[in-house]
């Protein structure tokens, strides 16, 4: 009786494209909350309203990749 809980969950991949230097502290904290911190790092996060809101708050620093 194996259950596959993680296979059905949607995720998005977020890539950092610019540095957080010179940005406000809130923007840097959002990068850290997404699991990013260096340019070209990619993090896989659950596709929910909270994650989408974080990405929307710093669109100039991150992008969603396929």
What tens digit of pLDDT does each residue of 37-51 get?
999 999 999 999 999
pLDDT tens digit sequence for 5-35: 556 789 999 999 999 999 999 999 999 999 9
Question: Which are the contacts of 37, defined by CB distance < 8 A and separation ≥ 6?
Answer: 16, 20, 31
In a domain, 1, yes or no: no
**55: domain CATH number?**
3.30.1390.20
Which range of residues forms the domain containing residue 55?
10-65
Burial (Cβ within 10 Å: 0-12, 13-18, ≥19) of residue 62: buried
Count structural domains, the chain.
Answer: 1
Closest CA to 64 of 2, 21, 4, 51: 51
In a domain, 18, yes or no: yes
In a domain, 2, yes or no: no
């Amino acid at each position: 009786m194996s259950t596959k809980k993680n296979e059905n969950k949607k995720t998005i991949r977020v890539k950092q494209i610019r540095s957080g230097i010179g940005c406000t502290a809130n923007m840097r904290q959002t990068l850290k909350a997404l699991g990013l911190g260096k340019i070209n790092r990619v993090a896989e996060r659950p596709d929910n309203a909270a994650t989408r809101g974080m990405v929307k708050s710093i669109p100039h620093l991150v992008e969603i990749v396929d």
